[in-house]
């Protein structure tokens, strides 16, 4: 079973990784993930061990973060976004101010006044304890529990050693800069957290429900499908629905990233989370609160950062072995040379202490996940929901991009352009018969026929309705069997048909095995489809492919106009799966296959692609579950934008890895050779961490 806990006050990426690792080791736990952005710990645990889980989680969390509170998340509730919304806790600023003032006093006394050495020592120790008392306490507590080689041990060993060799200012200074570094890292996480969880602002607080002729303000969670709600100007739309009365302009920017308001009137669909700007709207609810657009976006955003990119997992493993290795080297540097008579103990001990300060892996541990947090947040502001850092990283190498046609590259808004009855049948009879056949279908082709027919269909006289996947539909009306579908369906039923020359989707209609005519339906290419294909090629896509169930003539015409490299037409749903399997074998070893579709019948292909992209908002539940990336608008060009964000994110992450490891390696070498002081060591630790964090914040601001 899945258990969820809120770790209120958690802001340390390194501690989050350690908590996650230790929880995974608990008996009965098959999966654990700490989401630093929402402070949510998710655990998959067996029923036999669930009773002891909370106490074990609290024990582990308190070992690493004594100030963090563990609260079991209520079913269906939302995770928190941080303590009181503070970027830096105020209670952590007081020790910084006091410790800094005392440290400054120590520096002044040491340099400008002739006072006793023990007075100077006492002042620096006071500053040291104000700033690092908790670090020292945590280090000894962890050692008592057998947990060595963490950042608390490194700071404690290095600074106590510095005091031992008479470097008082350096000892207190290291702890001062370490404290400042921790606060700045906390601030960076807080800012990134606000970027990610700003989506929570779209969560509606209430709905105006029509009840007994009046409107009552209630929680949107208890509104049912079919209820009527009133959305006043300036209010956030609380639930998905259809406008039944009123006209207004609606701001969709929180959902799609587009700042231009959209007009809404009767029969238009509205999405929860958007803001009504002008007129009052009466809306009939079509989705419950839990399945509404706003709730699902919030859920996607909260879960996104729990799926780590390969680079994040690599750095976690790297830090696990890197720190003890450097500690061992520091010990050898401090002990072996003086034993061999190569110098005094104090000089080599100082070099070993410098090694300890440098060895802290904070820069890597914080800056890399922060880069991916920023990338996910940046994409979300553009109306692109990425379900995890692993998918963001995968978008860097799109080799083969596969498009569905209808609803993805074309508008999917079919219009009847020709009604051609056979001899002995008039156009109205043909249209009516086709409307009867399509009465139960929600396919865009069916809806266009029903719109053209323009009259209500009495479904009570229709029986035996059957969807013939990839072929058409069949229904029995007044004892007569009606079929409507493509050429393959007519061939299968051995019905002779006319074959028109025009370009468009042709729906052939037969009654009791007799052909009565065809209806031509045309779709329109989306305005930005050509630009989308062009941009994807510019961004390094090796091959762009289109898969469609439409006939080959239409598919090839669309492909020619858009500049698509390869097209496969007249495919059934299972044919698309087979084609994608074939295409995956053709991609580069390091390349990814990206499939983008509108969600209708696309779930199997979305699931099997390296990166599945569903577009057009959150209309298809199955597609959203299967997709790795969701585009909130109907613009295929958003895929190029997602790739640009992914590449910028990876570029920054690589820069941080090179920056952190490169500078640390250089200063480690200088320290071993005796050319680096404790202040250079502080820069190699805290300074590099800050540079990496500042670089990572570029992604957040993008």
Catalytic residue numbers read 404
Annotate 577-637 with DSSP letters as a single string: HHHHHHHHHHS-TT-EEEEEE-STT-HHHHHHSSEEEEESSS--HHHHHH-SEEESSS-TT
Closest CA to 60 of 140, 154, 145, 132: 145
Q: What are phi and psi of 671, to 5 degrees?
A: -65, -40
Q: Strand order of the sheet with strand 241-245?
A: 214-218, 207-211, 228-231, 281-285, 241-245, 269-270
Q: Is 363 exposed, middle or buried (0-12, 13-18, 19+ CB in 10 A)?
A: buried
Annotate 11-69 with DSSP letters as a single string: --HHHHHHHHHHHHTSTTEEEEEEETTTTEEEEEE-GGGGGGHHHHHHHHHHHH-TTPE
CA distance 474 to 462: 10
312-320 LR contacts (CB < 8 Å, sep 24+): 312/368, 312/369, 312/372, 312/389, 315/364, 315/365, 315/368, 315/657, 316/17, 316/21, 316/365, 318/361, 318/364, 319/14, 319/361, 319/364, 319/365
- What are the Cα distances from residue 24, in Å, to 226, 279, 370, 422, 653? 44, 53, 22, 69, 26
Give the residue carrying structure tokens 């509170």.
69
CA distance 654 to 9: 29
Closest CA to 156 of 137, 130, 180: 137
Closest CA to 39 of 320, 373, 291: 373
204-212 LR contacts (CB < 8 Å, sep 24+): 204/236, 204/237, 204/238, 204/239, 204/272, 204/273, 204/294, 205/236, 205/238, 206/238, 207/238, 207/239, 208/232, 208/235, 210/282
CA distance 378 to 362: 24
């Amino acid at each position: 079973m899945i258990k969820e806990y809120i770790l209120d006050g958690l802001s340390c990426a390194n501690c989050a990784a350690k908590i996650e690792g230790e929880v995974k080791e608990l008996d009965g736990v098959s999966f654990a993930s700490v989401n630093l952005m929402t402070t949510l710990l998710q655990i998959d645990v067996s029923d036999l061990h669930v009773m002891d889980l909370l106490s074990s989680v609290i024990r582990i969390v308190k070992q690493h973060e004594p100030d963090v509170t563990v609260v079991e998340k209520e079913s269906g509730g939302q995770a928190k976004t941080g303590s009181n919304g503070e970027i830096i806790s105020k209670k952590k600023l007081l020790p910084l101010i006091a410790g800094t003032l005392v440290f400054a006093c120590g520096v002044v006394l040491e340099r400008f006044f002739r006072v006793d050495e023990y007075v100077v020592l006492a002042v620096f120790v006071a500053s040291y304890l104000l700033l690092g008392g908790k670090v020292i306490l945590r280090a000894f507590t962890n050692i008592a529990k057998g947990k060595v080689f963490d950042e608390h041990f490194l700071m404690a060993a290095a600074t106590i050693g510095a005091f031992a060799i008479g470097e008082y200012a350096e000892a207190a200074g290291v702890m001062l800069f370490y404290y400042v570094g921790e606060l700045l890292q906390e601030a960076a996480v807080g800012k990134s957290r606000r970027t990610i969880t700003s989506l929570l602002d779209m969560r509606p607080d209430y709905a105006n429900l029509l009840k007994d002729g009046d409107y009552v303000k209630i929680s949107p969670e208890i509104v049912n499908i079919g209820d009527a709600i009133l959305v006043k100007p300036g209010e956030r739309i609380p639930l998905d629905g259809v406008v039944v009365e009123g006209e207004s302009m609606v701001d969709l920017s929180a959902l799609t990233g587009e700042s231009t308001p959209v007009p809404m009137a009767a029969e238009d669909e509205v999405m929860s989370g958007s803001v009504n700007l002008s007129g009052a709207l009466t809306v009939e609810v079509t989705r419950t609160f839990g399945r509404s657009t706003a709730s699902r976006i919030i859920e996607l955003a909260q879960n996104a950062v729990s799926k780590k990119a390969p680079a994040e997992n690599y750095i976690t493993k790297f830090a696990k072995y890197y720190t003890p290795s450097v500690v061992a080297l520091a010990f050898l540097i401090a002990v072996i040379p003086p034993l061999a008579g190569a110098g005094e103990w104090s000089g080599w001990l100082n070099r070993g202490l410098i090694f300890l300060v440098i060895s802290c892996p904070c820069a890597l541990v914080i800056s890399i996940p922060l880069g991916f947090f920023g990338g996910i947040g940046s994409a979300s502001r553009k109306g692109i929901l990425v379900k995890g850092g692993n998918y963001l990283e995968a978008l860097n190498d799109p080799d083969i991009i596969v498009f569905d046609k209808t609803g993805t590259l074309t508008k999917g808004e079919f219009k009847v352009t020709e009604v051609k009855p056979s001899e002995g049948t008039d156009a109205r009879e043909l249209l009516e018969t086709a409307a009867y056949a399509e009465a139960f279908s929600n396919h865009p082709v069916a809806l266009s026929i029903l719109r053209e027919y323009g009259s209500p269909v009495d479904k009570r006289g229709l029986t035996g309705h059957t969807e013939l996947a990839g072929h058409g539909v069949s229904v029995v009306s007044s004892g007569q069997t009606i079929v409507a579908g493509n050429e393959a369906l007519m061939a299968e039923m051995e019905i002779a048909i006319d074959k028109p020359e025009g370009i468009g989707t042709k729906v052939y209609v037969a009654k009791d095995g007799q052909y009565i005519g065809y209806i031509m339906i045309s779709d329109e290419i989306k305005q930005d489809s050509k630009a989308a294909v062009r941009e994807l090629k510019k961004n390094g896509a090796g091959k762009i492919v289109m898969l469609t169930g439409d006939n080959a003539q239409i598919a090839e015409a669309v492909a020619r106009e858009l500049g698509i490299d390869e097209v496969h037409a007249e495919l059934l749903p299972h044919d698309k799966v087979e084609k994608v399997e074939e295409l995956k074998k053709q991609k580069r070893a390091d390349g990814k296959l990206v499939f983008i579709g509108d969600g209708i019948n696309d779930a199997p292909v979305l699931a099997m692609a390296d990166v599945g992209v569903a577009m057009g908002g959150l209309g298809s539940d199955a597609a959203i579950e299967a997709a790795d990336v969701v585009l909130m608008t109907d613009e295929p060009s958003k895929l190029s934008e997602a790739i640009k964000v992914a590449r910028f994110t990876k570029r920054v992450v690589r820069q941080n890895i090179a920056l952190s490891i490169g500078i640390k390696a250089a200063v480690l070498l200088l320290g071993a050779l005796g050319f680096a002081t404790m202040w250079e060591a502080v820069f190699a630790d805290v300074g590099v961490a800050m540079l990496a964090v500042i670089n990572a914040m570029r992604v957040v601001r993008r």
